Structure 1
Amino acid sequence: MDIKSLLAVCKQWNSVKLETTRPPFPLLMLSETLNTNLRSFFNLCDSKRYQLEISTFGGKRCWGSPHGWVVTLDPNSKAHLEHLEKGKQIILPSLNTIQTLAATEEWFLLIHKFIIFKQPSHESSFLVIAIFGPGFSLAFVRVEEGAALNRRGQDEWVLVANPDNFKFKDVACFNDQIYGLCDNGTLVRIELDAPWSAEVQVVSPHPEDVWEPQKLYLVELSGNLFGVFRYGYYYPLKRRYETVSFLVYKFNFDASSWEEVTDLEYHAVFVGDGNSWCCPTITIPSRSNSIYFTDDNWDWQMYPGGAYGGCDVGLFDMATGVIQPLPFGEDNPSSYSRPIWVTTTMRLF
């Protein structure tokens, strides 16, 4: 917020490029409001709600990232990368291959999760990974503007060979390697450029003392790789899940084992639809040692077109084990539009 205030002083100050290696503190982009191009954003730093006009998000399901980009999917199964600040769009290749393997009556359930990894070679160069279908399979595509990648997956979706039928729950980039968290916590390394085809290599089984979690996330934090395990209950009368707790484990590569972690120190972790990531909170200690989560459980769609869920949003305090709501006010999730975490350096109004 201080940086945004500085940039708003005058044109000269706004022209200064501020270098930073950490992502901006996320905003919570709330669900779509019908018949308007305005989207509401809840700012965790000042607990205020802002609005931004975005005409291209209407009628689409969205997945967030820490890069200022959002993946969108429309009812015609067309996917785009869209930049919140610049209004820029990148068309992703046709999902026909994935669509055939993940046939469903509901277009917005075609993909469980899109994850975006930004390539350092160009500001519009990305690796996009999709987790899709009843088997939670994996596919990827490389997209880049201004240069040829000449690598597997350039401008086309490539399926990752998965002979062991792992169910992928999340992926993360760590030390220039792609890792995945599967099933109940099996850690795998994904070799996208293996000689014959993209393949999966097992690194470690799931932590011994965990039971089957509701959702799993993989996060790079302070030079380590962390697994985040989310637990909750389904309430049929409410037609919704409610998260009750989290367990966090750090993977020890030297010992090839998981180690439970109870303190994230001066960091906050953000999980939900899209990328899973963390932010340092040294300047806002009240946000430290917390897991912020949105509702990404789409498994109990009650009937075609029917709105379900989307309300399981809050923070988990690692120190106390208490779930707290976020005071963002009214939100009305639809069958395809739910709150997600996004980042932007734009000054909201």
Structure 2
Amino acid sequence: MTCWSDMAYDALEHITSFLPLTDHHRFSAVCKNWRLVAKQRHSPAPQLPWLVLGDEPGTGKRKFYNLSEDKHYAMDIPELYGRYICGSSHGWLVAIDIKITGILINPFTREFYELPLLSHFNSGLHSRSVFENALMDYRNVAGHCIEDFQVSIVQKAILSHDPKKRPDFMLMILVGSIGTPAFWKPGDSSWTVIRVRVSEIKDVIYFDQHFHFVTNHNRLLFLDFQPDPKMHDIRSPRISLRLPTPQSYLVNYFGNLLLVERWNRLCIKKRYYKTYFNILRLDFEKKKVYRSKTIGEAAIFLGTNDSIVINPNELVPGCKYKCKTKSIYFTDDGMGIFNTSEKTFSAFYSPEIHHTLVGAPIWFTPNPW
């Protein structure tokens, strides 16, 4: 009778192609031969994103929530001690501390880049007046000190490419209350700030070889690096908007660019705000905007992360049945699932997962290789 540890390498390699990340690690713990197979650079099967949470009280370990398993994991990552996660992209995290020092790190491989210092409130990335106003506003929040808000000065951070695959990657951040863009690339000693005359930038995405941005009035822009970095308006298609959106998200939906608007509607009789989403598909060739009632069978994960789109049919069975199709999973300013077909809400998280003033949970796609 053949021993499990003597299974052929090809057969073991085939098995690993069906395993999500956690099962991949369990596979490697069976025996020496299986561990050797697991250590090869075979990516785990497609899986649902994880949530990055705060530090575990008393240990400083970073907590993660595996949506597929409905299970928490605590990882000892000293580089993240006391840091606020302000971005998630390609399996890497961007984190800053109260001194406004930053790090770009892959929490599974522990590879990291130290980022240049972000200037303080009264100098650097914005005009002095903008920072002074921001500082004054923050200090007026009852019960909270300036350190609580220093760590949330970066509203979003995304990568152009996976640093493991493209060493010439760029990191783009949105800074301060109006989301001023600034970028860094390996070898730079400081951030390059992009000056743009807009009231507020709400989101950024790397799409079709350019960074694209959307403002709170749904004005679309893209950044051209030749010959020098310069922001340009996307004049067509135009999106009509009467009021500024509380939040807009740019999503790469299988090669098409979506603009997802998040609104809060006041229900006067019941005295609460009801959240709902509008979905717009941008057709640059026909110069038109199409309103979509649903997102099809996919699932979209939105927040301060680089927007994630999942095709449930590509997931392994254990993950597939955990994924709610036609749905938007959201984390910032409240958490939940919005079914775009039925226009209903549901929860996806345990009651113990909650928001704090400084930073909401953020979606993250593990990238261990």
Runs of 4+ in 1 over 4 A off after TM superposition: 99-102, 119-125
- 1:133 counterpart residue number: 176
Specify the code of the residue in structure 1 equivalent to 2:215.
C
1:173 CA displacement? 1.5
Q: Per-residue deviation at 1:42?
A: 1.9
**Structure with larger RCO (C-alpha < 8 A, sep 6+):** 1
Assess if the C-alpha contact under 8 Å between 2:153 and 2:177 holds in 1: no
- What is the deviation of 1:210? 7.1
Alignment-derived partner of residue 80 in structure 2:
57
Hey, what's the Cα distance between the residues in 1 that align with 2:111 and 2:274?
A: 35
The aligned counterpart of 1:42 is: 65
Question: More helix per residue: 1 or 2?
Answer: 2
| Change in CA separation of 1:133 and 1:76 when aligned onto 2, cut-off 3 Å | same
Tell me what 1:90 maps to: 113
Q: Does 1:156 find its partner at 2:173?
A: no
Q: Which residue of 2 aligns with 1:287?
A: 324
| 1:188 matched residue in structure 2 | 221
**CA shift at 1:11, angstroms?**
0.9
Is the Cα contact below 8 Å between 1:111 and 1:133 reproduced in 2?
Answer: yes
- CA distance in 2 between counterparts of 1:159 and 1:186 reads 19
Letter in 1 for 2:204: V
Separation in structure 2 between the aligned mates of residue 80 and residue 185 of structure 1, nearest angstrom: 31
Larger Cα Rg: Structure 1 or Structure 2? 2
Q: Does 1:342 align with 2:369?
A: no
Partner of residue 275, structure 2? 244
Report the CA distance shift for 1:6/1:136 in structure 2 as closer, same or farther (over 3 A).
closer
Residues 271, 292 of structure 1: 8 Å contact kept? yes
Using the TM superposition, give the Cα deviation of residue 320 of structure 1 relative to its aligned residue in structure 2, in angstroms.
1.0
Q: Report Cα offsets for 1:44-66 as digits up to 9, x if no partner.
A: 22222232222332322102424
Per-residue deviation, residues 144-174 of structure 1 (Å, max 9, x unmatched): 6xxxxxxxxx443112131x32521111122
Q: State the match for 1:276 in structure 2.
A: 307
**Whole-angstrom distance in 1 between the partners of 2:242 and 2:182:** 28
User: For residues 5-84 of structure 1, what are the structure 2 equivalents within 5 Å?
Assistant: 5-6=23-24, 8-9=26-27, 10-18=34-42, 24-84=47-107
Measured against aligned partners, the alpha-carbon deviations of 1:84-112 in whole angstroms (never above 9, x if no partner) come to 10222211112222276563343123222
**Structure 1 position 78, deviation (Å):** 0.6
Distance in 1 (alpha carbons) for counterparts of 2:80 and 2:183: 23
Distance 2:241 2:231 in 1: 28
The 10-residue stretch of structure 1 (108-117 or 76-85) with the greater mean CA deviation from structure 2: 108-117
Name the CA distance, whole Å, in 1 between partners of 2:328 and 2:210.
24
Residue among 345, 363, 369 paired with 1:323: 345
Structure 1 pair 187/294, CA: closer, same or farther in 2 (3 Å)? same
Residues 1:110 and 1:323: Cα distance change in structure 2 (over 3 Å)? same
Cα 1:203–1:137 change in 2 (3 A) is same
- Would you say 1:258 and 2:289 are equivalent positions? yes
SS class of match (2:37): helix
- RMSD after superposition: 3.0
Q: Quick one: distance in 2 between partners of 1:77 and 1:291?
A: 32
The share of aligned pairs that are identical, in percent, is 22
Q: In structure 1, how many angstroms separate the alpha carbons of the residues matched to 2:226 and 2:46?
A: 31
Contact kept in structure 1, 2:257 and 2:282, CA below 8 Å: yes
Deviations 1:249-287 (A, max 9, x none): 110112222211223223211111232221221142642
Give the 3 Å change call, closer, same or farther, for CA 115–47 of structure 1 in structure 2. Answer: same
SS of the residue corresponding to residue 56 of structure 1 reads: helix
The residue that corresponds to 2:260 in the other structure is: 228
| Distance of 1:48 and 1:294 partners within structure 2 | 17
Give the aligned partner of residue 305 of structure 1.
none
User: In the aligned structure 1, how far is the partner of 2:112 from the partner of 2:228?
Assistant: 32
Change in CA separation of 1:59 and 1:99 when aligned onto 2, cut-off 3 Å? farther
Q: Per-residue deviation at 1:38?
A: 2.4
CA distance in 2, matches of 1:292, 1:242: 18
Aligned: 1:175 with 2:218: no
Residue 7 (structure 1) shift: 5.4
Measure the CA separation in 2 of the matches of 1:243 and 1:273. 21
Aligned length: 315
* Structure with more strand by fraction: 1
The alpha-carbon distance between structure 1 residues 338 and 257, as it changes in their structure 2 partners (threshold 3 A), is same
Cα pair 1:80 1:92 within 8 Å, conserved = yes
Counterpart check, 1:109 vs 2:132: no
